[in-house]
Every structure is written in C-alpha cells, then in structure tokens.
C-alpha cells in the first residue's frame, strides 16, 4: 500500500464502541485540498483480538485486518503510519510504547494510563521516539464547549463567578458490553466514572476557569455491578481562586434531565443541555428566557476535529490544541478525588 504524503494512514487498535465514533468523525472531515481531493485520514488497518470486530471496521474502510499489534507491526510493507489506541486503560502503556518504538505516531484514548508512573513512562517513550503522541480528550473539541470558551473570553457573561459540571449518565450496555465488561473492573479502569467518562466534564472546566489547584470530594457505589465509584460529589478550587463543582452519577434507573454544564458570571449564565446532542444557551438581562448561541451538535461532533488535529500534527507539524502533558490534568483530578474521598480532606492536584 503506497503512502500518500497528504493523507494519514491510521490503524485502529481496538474496534469496540468508541471506534464507531472515531470512524464517523473521520467520515465527516473534509478533504485536505479542493473538492474531491485526498482525505485527511484513511483507516488502513483494523486490529482487534476479536476478529469479527476488526472485520466490521474493515468492511467500512477497506482496512487490512490483524488480531494483534505485533502482527500488524510485522506486516511488510507497513500499511499504516499511526495508531489510534482504543483499548482498556490498563493496556494503554504497553500498546503506546510498542507503537512508538516501532516508529509509529500515536493517538491514545483518555486517560493516558490509570496511574502517573505509567504516564511518565509513556511520555518518556514519546520524547525518545520523536513521533507525535496525543491523548484523545475529545471534550477539547466539543462544539458547545469550544463556543462557550469563546463567549466567556468575550465578556458576555461578565467575570466568571463559578461553574458546575454534572456528568449524569444512564447505564448504557453499549459501553458495557461483553461477558466481562472491562469498564466495570476497577483494575482495568483505575477507578470508576471520575477517571473514565468524567474526564470529558473536567476538561471543559479547565478550558473555562484555568488550572485546578485542589479538590475535596466524596464517592459512593450505587451501581452495584461497577467495582469503581458510580457517584461523585466534588468541589474544585482553581489557581485563580474560583470554585466549581463536579458531580457524576451513573445508575441503571430512570433519571430526570439535568444541564451538563452551567457557568455563572456577574452579568449572566451559560448553560449546556444535559444530553449528547447538547445546545449552548445564554441567559442575561437581554435574554432572561435564554438565547440559543450554538445549535445542538454535541459529543459525537467532537471526534472529527480531534482526529483532524492529530492528523495535521503528524502531516504538517502543527501543534495540537492540547499537548499530552495537559491531559494529565483530568487524571490527576480523578486521583485527587479518590485520595480526598479516603482522607476526607482537600487534596492537591499537582503536588
């Protein structure tokens, strides 16, 4: 397979539920050049120990099918330039280091790894490799989140007073399929909803309010099938002195709608609807009933820009919106939440 310097040849490592979002994001991306030009990304390898899952991706993309990263890396000529790591958290380090050592660029799903020591080894391997390494925190590209950041910077709601992130999510078998769903296993995830999906709610708070200094939190386990926590109540204090709350709850019962984010300023509020289709609203003296600032696009619309950012970093040398070290912030916040739940004290994020 001949490489086209204008197109990134990408291997999917892990062809489960999240791979579909990545595929859809790639399909929505525009060609690099004029209409009909070469695509920015082509999925040229599908790797999964479940061969049927890999073949399902291959049927949509024409990718070569492999059952292991070792097999894929041994192929001659190599059919891919970069690897999109979409595996359980505890497998991120080995796969990422192996791919980097083989000279491949790597996009790794969040969190980088379940613990900081593993993250440091990954970052060291990335530096030594000279290849592009990026953590796939798609909230960085979530359209309503990005628009909210622009509105905050414009001063439309005045000075930010506080914010709230509420990750309320009905237990969904799409993300917990199989005989032994790995997301229910604390050893594989490194925890529960704070370290996993909760990162998508913590990143926007960092985008809007700056870096988090410390956290105090409590956790509980109402979803009995999950070993990690399924309930979090946390207060975050930022380096700016601002405070915000992060709430997370996953249950297998009927749940009422709730805004996923609320940002309060001295002259108004921003609200992002509590659904995967989103929608950004401004409430201010001129619009006390609310004004729609960004139509509902939502979670799924974040993957195209994320993958395009990675591709341009590889092909053009452009810096990504957020480097891999920045992604440690969500992991460190989750780990501090766990420490605080045990100590019942404020815990520092970066110490």
- What is the per-residue pLDDT across 274-294, written as a single tens digit (0 to 9) for each? 876 679 999 999 999 999 999
> Are 163 and 284 in the same domain?
yes
Does any domain span residue 319? no
| The length of the chain, given as a count of residues | 351
> Are 47 and 98 in the same domain?
yes
The whole-number pLDDT of residue 177 equals: 66
Q: Are 201 and 246 in contact (CB under 8 A)?
A: yes
> Are 55 and 199 in the same domain?
no
- What is the C-alpha separation between 301 and 106, in angstroms, rounded? 21
The whole-number pLDDT of residue 31 equals: 54
Of 138, 154, 187, at which residue does a domain stop? 138
> Are 89 and 32 in the same domain?
yes
Does any domain span residue 322? no
DSSP H or E run through 241: none
Does any domain span residue 316? no
Of 105, 138, 171, at which residue does a domain stop? 138
pTM listed for this prediction: 0.95
| Total of domains in the chain | 2
Spell out the alpha helix ranges (H) of the chain. Answer: 17-28, 51-61, 69-74, 92-101, 116-129, 143-154, 186-189, 199-209, 303-316, 328-343
The whole-number pLDDT of residue 38 equals: 82
Pairing of strands 8-13, 82-85: parallel
> Are 57 and 179 in the same domain?
no
> Are 125 and 147 in the same domain?
no
> Are 45 and 156 in the same domain?
no
Q: Calculate the alpha carbon distances from 292 to 47, 146, 163, 238, 268 in Å.
A: 42, 15, 19, 28, 14
> Are 267 and 298 in the same domain?
yes
Of 107, 138, 169, at which residue does a domain stop? 138
Number of neighbouring beta carbons within 10 Å of residue 127: 12
Domain that holds residue 78: 8-138
> Are 178 and 249 in the same domain?
yes
> Are 234 and 161 in the same domain?
yes
Does any domain span residue 188? yes
**Percent helix, strand and coil across the chain, each rounded to 5?**
35, 25, 40
Does any domain span residue 177? yes
> Are 160 and 234 in the same domain?
yes
Burial 32-68 (b: 16+ CB within 10 A, else e): beeeeeebbbbbbbbbbeeeebbebbbeebebbbbee
48: its two tokens: 């999964």
The whole-number pLDDT of residue 37 equals: 72
Does any domain span residue 3? no
Does any domain span residue 323? no
- Where residue 128 sits, what CATH number does that domain have? 3.40.50.720
Does any domain span residue 297? yes
pLDDT, averaged per 10 consecutive residues of the chain (351 residues), comes to: 81 95 86 64 97 98 98 98 98 98 98 98 98 98 96 98 95 74 94 97 98 98 95 98 97 90 98 83 96 90 96 96 97 98 98 82
> Are 154 and 293 in the same domain?
yes
The whole-number pLDDT of residue 34 equals: 42
Backbone angles phi, psi at 160, to 5 degrees: -65, 130
- Where residue 167 sits, what CATH number does that domain have? 3.30.360.10
């Amino acid at each position: 397979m001949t490489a086209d310097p204008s197109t990134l040849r990408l291997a999917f490592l892990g062809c489960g539920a999240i791979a579909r979002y990545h595929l859809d994001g790639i399909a929505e991306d525009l060609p690099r050049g004029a209409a009909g030009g070469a695509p920015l990304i082509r999925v040229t390898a599908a790797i999964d120990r479940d061969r049927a899952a890999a073949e399902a991706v291959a049927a949509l993309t024409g990718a070569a099918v492999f059952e292991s990263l070792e097999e894929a890396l041994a192929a001659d000529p190599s059919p891919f330039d970069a690897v999109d790591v979409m595996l359980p958290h505890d497998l991120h380090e080995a796969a990422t280091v192996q791919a980097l050592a083989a000279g491949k660029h790597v996009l790794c799903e969040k969190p980088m790894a379940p613990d900081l020591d593993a993250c440091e080894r990954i970052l060291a391997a990335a530096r030594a490799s000279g290849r592009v390494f990026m953590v796939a925190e798609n909230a960085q590209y979530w359209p309503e989140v990005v628009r909210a950041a622009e509105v905050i910077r414009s001063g439309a709601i005045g000075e930010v007073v506080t914010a709230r992130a509420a990750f309320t999510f009905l237990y969904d078998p799409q993300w917990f399929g199989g005989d032994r769903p790995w997301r229910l296993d604390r050893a594989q995830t490194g925890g529960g909803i704070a370290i996993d999906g909760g990162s998508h709610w913590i990143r926007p708070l960092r985008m809007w309010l700056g870096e988090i200094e410390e956290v105090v939190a409590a956790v509980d386990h109402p979803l009995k099938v999950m070993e990690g926590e399924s309930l979090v109540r946390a207060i975050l204090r930022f380096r700016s002195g601002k405070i915000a709350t992060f709430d997370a709850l996953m249950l297998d019962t009927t749940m009422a709608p709730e805004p996923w984010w609320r940002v309060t300023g001295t002259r108004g509020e921003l609200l992002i609807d509590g659904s995967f289709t989103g929608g950004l609203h401004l409430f201010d003296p001129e619009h006390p009933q609310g004004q729609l600032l960004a139509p509902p696009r939502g979670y799924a619309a974040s993957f195209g820009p994320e993958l395009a950012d990675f591709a341009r970093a590889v092909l053009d040398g452009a810096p990504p919106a957020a480097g891999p070290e920045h992604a440690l912030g969500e992991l460190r916040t989750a780990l501090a939440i766990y420490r605080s739940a045990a100590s019942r004290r404020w815990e520092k994020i970066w110490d």
